[in-house]
Amino acid sequence: MSQAHQQELDTTVETPLHRAPAECKVAATIVFVVAVALVPRGDLVWPYAVDAAILLAVAAFARVDPRMLGARLLFELPFVLFVLVLPFVAEDGWWLAFGIVAKATLAVLATGVLAWTTPPAEILRGAERLGLPRQLVAIAGFAIRYLQVIGDELRRMRLARVQRGDTARWLWQSSAATRGFGALAVRTLERGERVHTAMLARGYGGRMPALQLAPSASPLAWMVAAILPAAAIAVLVVARL
């Protein structure tokens, strides 16, 4: 898949975790997050601490840029504010809120490590090998390939608007912004049509060629990838006892 549209993930770091098969990493992330999510509610701190330590060890091994994880946590912030309502509407609300924030944070960090070690196209390939339906893979493939293009287009339109003196702050000032958004919608869908025409011109016959050039993961890779979720499951079992 084209790498040109994935500038933000260009990185000079490469660790064994980056080279590991994508399906192992996707499966390990999902099982880890599920294991964390199943930690029972109540006044428990240590399961989250142990899971966080394991995850941070993996992150250190992959030499994850802390700034990148920090940016992801900022993304989570609005939800944390929402959780702070809970202590006022539920009994035992503080522990409830703590559990939710801990689980959400660990999930955000885990997918952060996945995104750091695996380009989006590879994540998609891993999900396909794990049995994601073909139509969803096709839609997601187009989406991931053109995300950067459309994001850049939106940025250019916003810049052009600001340069012409449009500095809308409030909803009722947003007519130029929404009109631009409408133009972007039209351009995006027309781009979809052109993409399809281009595919036909290159001999597309109703089926995407197989994405899977790399051989599927070896049993050894699966075993190594199982370490992280296995540790989380062990923590979960002990916490549930």
Partner 1 sequence: MHIPEGFLTGEAAAVGAVTAALGVGICLRGARRHARERDLPIAGLAAAFFVVGEAPFIPVTIGTNAHLLGGALAVALLGPYLGALTITTVCLIQALVFGSGGITTLGATITVLALVPAFVGYPALLALRKPLPLPVAGGITAGLCVLLSAAVFVAFMTLGADSGIDRGTFAGVTFGAYAVVALIEGVITALLLRALLSLRPDLVRARRRPVPA
Q: Does 46 bind partner 1 (CB under 8 A)?
A: no
Nearer to partner 1 among residue 5 and residue 231 (C-beta): 5
Q: Which listed residue (94, 151, 160, 218) binds partner 1 by CB under 8 A?
A: 151
Q: Does 72 bind partner 1 (CB under 8 A)?
A: yes
How far apart (Å, rounded) are the C-alpha atoms in residues 239 and 219? 29
List, as own/partner pairs, every contact residues 93-100 make where C-beta atoms lie below 8 angstroms and the sequence separation is at least 24, other chains included: 95/41, 95/42, 95/43, 96/41, 98/45, 99/39, 99/41, 99/42, 99/44, 99/48
Angle ∠(235,239,241) on CA atoms, nearest 5: 120
Q: How far is the CB of 118 from partner 1 (least distance, A)?
A: 9
Within residues 86-125, the interface with partner 1 by CB under 8 A covers: 86, 88-92, 96, 99-104, 106-108, 111-112, 114-115, 120, 123
Query: Is the distance from CB of 124 to CB of 141 less than 8 angstroms?
Result: yes
Nearer to partner 1 among residue 183 and residue 218 (C-beta): 183
Within residues 153-212, the interface with partner 1 by CB under 8 A covers: 154, 171, 178-179, 181-186, 188-193, 195-196, 199, 206
Q: Does 233 bind partner 1 (CB under 8 A)?
A: no
x-marked contacts with partner 1 along 15-44 as a string, rule CB under 8 A: -----------x--xx--xx-xxx--x---
Angle ∠(213,215,217) on CA atoms, nearest 5: 135
DSSP state of 13: -
Query: Is the distance from CB of 87 to CB of 97 less than 8 angstroms?
Result: yes
Q: How far is the CB of 238 from partner 1 (least distance, A)?
A: 18
Q: How far is the CB of 74 from partner 1 (least distance, A)?
A: 10
Angle ∠(52,220,3) on CA atoms, nearest 5: 75
Q: Which listed residue (60, 138, 162, 214) binds partner 1 by CB under 8 A?
A: 138
